[in-house]
Structure 1
Amino acid sequence: MNDKVSPLQRLIRLLKNEKVLVGNVYFYAFFNGLLNLSIPLGIQAIINLIQSGTTSTSWIVLVVLVLVGIALAGVFQIYQLSATETIQQKIFSNASIEFAFRLPRLSLKALKDKYPPELVNRFFDIMTIQKGISKILFDFSIAFMQILFGLLLLAFYHPFFIALGFVIITILVLFFVFTGKESLRTSLEESKYKYKLVSWLEEIARNLSTFKMAGNSKLPLSRTDELSSDYLDARKSHFAELVKQFVVMVGFKVLISGSLLILGGILVFQEEMNIGQFVAAEIIILLIINSIEKLILSMETIYDVLTGLEKVGSITDLELESQNGMETIENDHPAIKVQADNVTLVSPQHNEKRILNALNFTINAGEKVGITGSMGTGKSSLLHLLAGLYDDFEGKLLFNDIPFKHLNLESLRSVSSNNLREQEIFESSLLENISLGRDEITKEEVQEVIRLCGLETFVQDLPKGLQTPLPSSGLGLANSIVTRILMARCLVGNYQLLLIEDKWNDVQPSVVNQWGEHLCNANSATTLISTSNPAILEKMDRIIVLSDGAIQKIGTFNEIKDVLPC
Structure 2
Amino acid sequence: MGKVINLHATRKTLFAILKPESGFFWVAIAYGVAISLMTLAVPIAVQTLINSIANIGSTRSVIILAIVLFLTLFVSGIFSALRMRIMEYYERKVYARLTAIISLKTIMAEHRFFEGRQNTNITQRYFDIMTLQKNVPSLMVDGFALVLQMLVGFTLVSFYHPMLFAFNLVLVLVMYTIWKIWGTGAKRSAIELSHAKYDSAKWLNDIAAAHEFFKSADHVEYAGRSTDTFINNYLTKHKNHFHYTFAQVVMFLLLYAFASAALLGIGGVLVVQGQLSIGQLVAAELIMSAVFFGLSRFTQYLKLYYELYGAAEKIGSALVIPQEDVNEKADRVPTSSQLIFNKLHLTHGSDTCLIDLQIEAGGKYFITTNKSWVQKQLIGLMKRYEKPQKGELLLGDLSLYDFDTYELRQAINTLDRSLIVECSIEEYLRLANPRASFAEIRAALAVVELDTVIDALPKGVDSKVSVLGAPLQPLEFLLLKLAAVIIEEPKVLIINQHFDAIPLALRLRLLNRLSELNCTVLYFTNTPEPHCLDGVIYLKDSANVVAAKPAKDSIIDQEVAQEGASDE
Matches of 1:472 and 1:318 in 2, distance apart? 23
Q: How does 1:322-401 map to 2 (within 5 A)?
A: 322-331=325-334, 333-344=335-346, 353=349, 359-374=355-370, 376-391=372-387, 396-401=392-397
Q: Could you say which residue in structure 2 is the equivalent of 1:450?
A: 445
Q: Could you say which residue in structure 2 is the equivalent of 1:321?
A: 324
Q: Could you say which residue in structure 1 is the equivalent of 2:190?
A: 187
Q: Secondary structure at the match of 1:154?
A: helix
Q: Could you say which residue in structure 2 is the equivalent of 1:523?
A: 517
Match of 1:416 among 395, 408, 412: 412
Cα distance change of structure 1 residues 272 and 508 upon mapping to structure 2, 3 Å threshold: same
Q: Does 1:147 align with 2:150?
A: yes
Quote the offset at 1:412 in angstroms. Answer: 1.3
Code of the aligned partner of 1:189: E
Q: Secondary structure at the match of 1:273?
A: coil
Q: How does 1:280-319 map to 2 (within 5 A)?
A: 280-319=283-322
Matches of 1:416 and 1:38 in 2, distance apart? 72
Quote the offset at 1:242 in angstroms. Answer: 1.0
Quote the offset at 1:557 in angstroms. Answer: 5.3
8 Å CA contact 1:445–1:492 kept in 2: the answer is yes
Matches of 2:7 and 2:173 in 1, distance apart? 30
Cα distance change of structure 1 residues 394 and 101 upon mapping to structure 2, 3 Å threshold: farther
Cα distance change of structure 1 residues 178 and 26 upon mapping to structure 2, 3 Å threshold: same
Q: How does 1:399-478 map to 2 (within 5 A)?
A: 399-405=395-401, 407-422=403-418, 424-436=419-431, 439-478=434-473
Q: Could you say which residue in structure 2 is the equivalent of 1:243?
A: 246
Cα distance change of structure 1 residues 466 and 354 upon mapping to structure 2, 3 Å threshold: farther
8 Å CA contact 1:41–1:280 kept in 2: the answer is yes
8 Å CA contact 1:417–1:491 kept in 2: the answer is no
- Give CA deviations for 1:306-354 in whole Å, capped at 9, x if unaligned: 21221122222111211234212335x24254435444456xxxxxx57
Alignment coverage as a number of residue pairs: 544
8 Å CA contact 2:429–2:487 kept in 1: the answer is yes
Q: How does 1:100-139 map to 2 (within 5 A)?
A: 100-111=103-114, 115-139=118-142
Q: Does 1:91 align with 2:86?
A: no
Code of the aligned partner of 1:416: I
Code of the aligned partner of 1:373: T
8 Å CA contact 1:355–1:377 kept in 2: the answer is no
8 Å CA contact 2:337–2:396 kept in 1: the answer is no
Cα distance change of structure 1 residues 459 and 193 upon mapping to structure 2, 3 Å threshold: same
8 Å CA contact 1:343–1:358 kept in 2: the answer is yes
Code of the aligned partner of 1:37: L
Q: Does 1:545 align with 2:538?
A: yes
TM-score (norm 2): 0.85
Q: Any gaps of 5 or more consecutive residues in structure 1?
A: 347-352, 559-566
Identity among equivalent pairs (%): 23
Code of the aligned partner of 2:520: T
Matches of 2:480 and 2:393 in 1, distance apart? 31
- Give CA deviations for 1:241-283 in whole Å, capped at 9, x if unaligned: 1122223323443454455444434443343431112111122
- Give CA deviations for 1:160-206 in whole Å, capped at 9, x if unaligned: 55555555555555554553332222122222222222222233333
Matches of 2:7 and 2:372 in 1, distance apart? 37
- Give CA deviations for 1:420-470 in whole Å, capped at 9, x if unaligned: 442x34321111222337534443442332122112112323343322222
Q: Secondary structure at the match of 1:190?
A: helix
Quote the offset at 1:59 in angstroms. Answer: 0.9
Q: Could you say which residue in structure 2 is the equivalent of 1:32?
A: 35
Q: Does 1:157 align with 2:160?
A: yes
The farther-off stretch of 464-473 and 298-307 is 464-473
8 Å CA contact 2:114–2:120 kept in 1: the answer is no
Matches of 2:385 and 2:25 in 1, distance apart? 41
Code of the aligned partner of 1:328: D
Q: Secondary structure at the match of 1:426?
A: coil
Q: Does 1:488 align with 2:490?
A: no
Match of 2:528 among 534, 546, 552: 534
Matches of 1:436 and 1:36 in 2, distance apart? 59
Cα distance change of structure 1 residues 158 and 193 upon mapping to structure 2, 3 Å threshold: same
TM-score (norm 1): 0.86
Q: Secondary structure at the match of 2:110?
A: coil
Cα distance change of structure 1 residues 4 and 165 upon mapping to structure 2, 3 Å threshold: closer
Structure number with greater Rg is: 2
Q: Could you say which residue in structure 2 is the equivalent of 1:561?
A: none
Matches of 1:405 and 1:4 in 2, distance apart? 42
Q: Could you say which residue in structure 1 is the equivalent of 2:228?
A: 225
8 Å CA contact 1:139–1:295 kept in 2: the answer is no
Matches of 1:505 and 1:114 in 2, distance apart? 24
Cα distance change of structure 1 residues 194 and 114 upon mapping to structure 2, 3 Å threshold: farther
More helix by share: 2
Matches of 1:170 and 1:345 in 2, distance apart? 66
Q: Could you say which residue in structure 1 is the equivalent of 2:559?
A: none
Quote the offset at 1:75 in angstroms. Answer: 2.8
- Give CA deviations for 1:216-264 in whole Å, capped at 9, x if unaligned: 9422222211221111111111111112222332344345445544443
- Give CA deviations for 1:23-71 in whole Å, capped at 9, x if unaligned: 2211211111111111111111122223347241111222233334334
Matches of 2:432 and 2:499 in 1, distance apart? 25
Cα distance change of structure 1 residues 266 and 120 upon mapping to structure 2, 3 Å threshold: same
Match of 2:274 among 252, 271, 278: 271
